Amino acid sequence: MKVLFLTIALSLFSILQAEESASSGEALGGTFYIHAIVADTDIPEEKRPKSLSPITISLLDDGNVEASFTTRKNGKCKEIKAKLEKTDNPYEFTMDKGKRHVYVTKTSDPNSWILYSEGEFRGKQVKLAKLLGASTEVDSEVLKEYQEFIQQKGFNEKRIISPKQEEACIPEDA
């Protein structure tokens, strides 16, 4: 689950970088929530995220993006940080030394995005699509856009996971 969540978080980095590149240069960042996740492979029930904390996004001086989030494992809170590297395309990013590519698609809501990632994950080729937003609430029109997007990409809608939103915990080493 930690690796899946990290992949999700890294994908979120790309949102801000793309928005920064396409906007008037305003500094972007903030907190974002994961509303839905779908993968092209089955995620075992015991590894599916039941709830996820929000992700904090920061634009780095070098133009890359950093995302951080917290997770609980064995009753302990841990902060995870990850970096998504920019490419020449403002809506495409790489991670894990180019093994994964992340693509950002805007929705009709300026505060919601669809992130599509593909590449190697634990030695296998995996595709993921996530719906993210700045609010804990999901707009029904945006959800329809997400469903249409995943259908076009060949995902099985029955594999959609809609995790509960949980508050971030405070890491013990903070």
> What are the sequence ranges of the domains in the chain?
2-165
What's the one-letter identity of residue 8?
Answer: I
Considering only CA atoms, which of 11, 69, 62 is closest in space to residue 39? 11
**2-165 homologous superfamily:** Calycin beta-barrel core domain (2.40.128.20)
For residue range 41-74, list pLDDT tens digits in order.
877 777 777 778 898 878 888 888 888 888 888 8
**Average pLDDT of the residues of the chain:** 81
Which residue, among 84, 29, 32, has the nearest Cα to 59 in the 3D structure? Answer: 29
SS3 122: coil
- d(CA 30, CA 69) in angstroms, rounded, equals 12
DSSP string, 47-81: GS-SEE--EEEEE-TTS-EEEEEEEEETTEEEEEE
CB 134 within 8 A of CB 113: no
Question: What pTM did the predictor assign?
Answer: 0.78
